[in-house]
């Protein structure tokens, strides 16, 4: 997918040439799962599954057409407030509102064609991509003067206060600040980013179970609440500030489930720091071990995997060329991410495909991805 494609979508639906085009990527997370709402560390990469928008100023309401999702509900960008937009239009409408709130500047109505190659429901942040694509678009059209980090913060506010999902900052930051060929270590408290090249000769493979993430909303909020309660018991601002020793010392004061959840978060933060170190020093086997330990912790302590996701990860672990694999995103379904030796992609894919069918009794979907730059407007 490219800008010519979304320009054609615009012409076919609205007539005339769009004046502005923008793109924002989805993301995978290599390690650091369920740590971002604990002020912790994450390690995502933006991927070449992207959402494109082509737009022009419009006199009337903002009108939306998505090649994949059809027409979106109209809304008035200069005045829209929470509660006034439904369906997928809530993301662009929420961005219009959050951008006005952040800058105090007017945001004009647009006609927008949208086209996306981001798989839906796989946990690779199609919602952050739509927010960031509209963020960079309006930032340019209305000359709002925000940089991508500020736009990611606006997108986070949009997601929480307009769309109503109580997520962390990882997804928007990854879609905003990704860098081609690199993964990004992000401290979600300070928002400092450090880029690390992917291990030489490896590719990112998204291994999708194609299992819908049904419980995701309620179970996610429940996990969050447990983490906050554990931090409170430990007398800490967030679990990022707690050590395993402190957790064990107060174990008797919390429910066993709360203890388990905190155990995951504290050990996952350590793993993410170790991963960063291993990547820098080119310690490939260590990278694999840390990804495996992360998955096991998410399965046993955090309990956000499902049998199909475990089957996918095990299939990946036993396949040729696998450097490391684990679930990615919130869990409860969705996809695994694998780092795979470039020379072994074909045998890896056929082995995981067959093994997953055998173990899970269903068909997966596989995407070989490259790490790409974050959200941006593009000109011809």
Binding residues vs ligand GLA (CB under 6 A): 33-34, 36-37, 167-168, 170-171, 329-330
Q: Least separation, in Å, of the C-beta of 334 and ligand GLA?
A: 9
Contact status, residue 109 vs residue 61, Cβ threshold 8 Å: yes
Q: Least separation, in Å, of the C-beta of 185 and ligand GLA?
A: 14
Place of tokens 């800490």: 236
Q: Least separation, in Å, of the C-beta of 304 and ligand GLA?
A: 8
Q: Catalytic residue at 208?
A: no
Beta carbon nearer to ligand GLA, 100 or 213: 213
Contact status, residue 179 vs residue 159, Cβ threshold 8 Å: no
Closest by CA position to 205, among listed 286, 332, 313: 313
Q: Least separation, in Å, of the C-beta of 123 and ligand GLA?
A: 6
Beta carbon nearer to ligand GLA, 34 or 240: 34
Task: Give alpha helix (H) positions in the chain.
Answer: 3-14, 90-103, 126-141, 148-157, 170-177, 216-233, 244-249, 256-280, 284-300, 307-317, 345-360
The SS3 of residue 159 is helix
Closest by CA position to 132, among listed 2, 20, 22, 24: 24
Question: Phi, psi at residue 235, to the nearest 5°?
Answer: 70, 30
Q: Least separation, in Å, of the C-beta of 64 and ligand GLA?
A: 23
Beta carbon nearer to ligand GLA, 136 or 298: 298
Kind of pairing between the strands at 202-208 and 62-66: unpaired
Question: Phi, psi at residue 328, to the nearest 5°?
Answer: -135, 145
Question: Phi, psi at residue 41, to the nearest 5°?
Answer: -110, 145
Beta carbon nearer to ligand GLA, 321 or 324: 324
User: CA-to-CA distance for 372 and 224, rounded, in angstroms?
Assistant: 30
User: Which is the catalytic residue, given 48, 171, 208, 310?
Assistant: 171
Provide the 10 A C-beta neighbour count for residue 163: 19
Beta carbon nearer to ligand GLA, 114 or 167: 167
Q: Least separation, in Å, of the C-beta of 6 and ligand GLA?
A: 25
Task: Work out whether the CA dihedral 204, 201, 186, 99 comes out positive or negative.
Answer: negative
Task: Work out whether the CA dihedral 180, 275, 210, 206 comes out positive or negative.
Answer: positive
Residues 6+ apart with CB under 8 A from 86: 73
The SS3 of residue 53 is strand
Beta carbon nearer to ligand GLA, 62 or 305: 305
Beta carbon nearer to ligand GLA, 33 or 48: 33
Q: Least separation, in Å, of the C-beta of 171 and ligand GLA?
A: 5
User: CA-to-CA distance for 113 and 92, rounded, in angstroms?
Assistant: 12
**337: β partners:** 206, 326
- Catalytic residue annotation: 171
């Amino acid at each position: 997918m490219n800008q010519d494609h979304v320009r054609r979508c615009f012409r076919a639906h609205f007539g005339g040439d769009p004046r502005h085009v923008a793109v924002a990527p989805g993301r995978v997370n290599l390690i650091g799962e369920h740590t971002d709402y604990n002020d912790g560390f994450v390690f995502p990469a933006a991927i070449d599954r992207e959402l494109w928008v082509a737009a022009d100023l419009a006199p009337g309401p903002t009108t939306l057409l998505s090649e994949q999702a059809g027409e979106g509900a109209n809304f008035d960008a200069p005045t829209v407030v929470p509660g006034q937009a439904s369906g997928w239009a809530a993301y662009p409408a929420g961005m219009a509102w959050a951008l006005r709130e952040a800058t105090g500047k007017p945001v004009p109505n647009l006609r927008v064609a949208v086209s996306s190659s981001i798989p839906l429901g796989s946990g690779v942040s199609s919602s952050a991509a739509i927010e960031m694509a509209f963020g960079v678009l309006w930032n340019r059209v209305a000359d709002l003067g925000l940089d991508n980090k500020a736009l990611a913060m606006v997108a986070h506010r949009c997601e929480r206060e307009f769309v109503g999902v109580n997520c962390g900052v990882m997804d928007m930051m990854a879609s905003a600040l990704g860098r081609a060929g690199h993964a990004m270590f992000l401290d979600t408290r300070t928002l400092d980013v450090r880029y690390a090249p992917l291990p030489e000769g490896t590719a990112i493979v998204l291994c999708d179970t194609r299992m819908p993430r049904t419980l995701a909303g309620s179970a996610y909020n429940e996990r969050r609440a447990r983490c906050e309660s554990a931090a409170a018991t430990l007398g800490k601002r967030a679990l990022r500030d707690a050590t395993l020793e402190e957790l064990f010392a107060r174990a008797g004061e919390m429910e066993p489930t709360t203890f388990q959840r905190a155990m995951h978060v504290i050990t996952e933060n350590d793993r993410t720091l170790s991963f960063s170190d291993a990547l820098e020093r080119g310690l490939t086997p260590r990278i694999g071990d840390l990804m495996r330990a992360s998955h096991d912790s998410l399965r046993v302590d955090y309990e956000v995997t499902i049998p199909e996701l475990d089957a996918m990860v095990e299939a990946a672990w036993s396949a040729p060329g696998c450097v490391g694999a684990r679930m990615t995103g919130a869990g409860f379904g969705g996809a695994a991410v694998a780092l795979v030796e470039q020379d072994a992609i074909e045998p890896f894919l056929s082995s995981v495909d067959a093994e997953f069918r055998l173990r899970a009794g269903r068909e997966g979907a596989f995407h070989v991805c490259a790490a790409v730059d974050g959200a941006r407007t593009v000109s011809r």
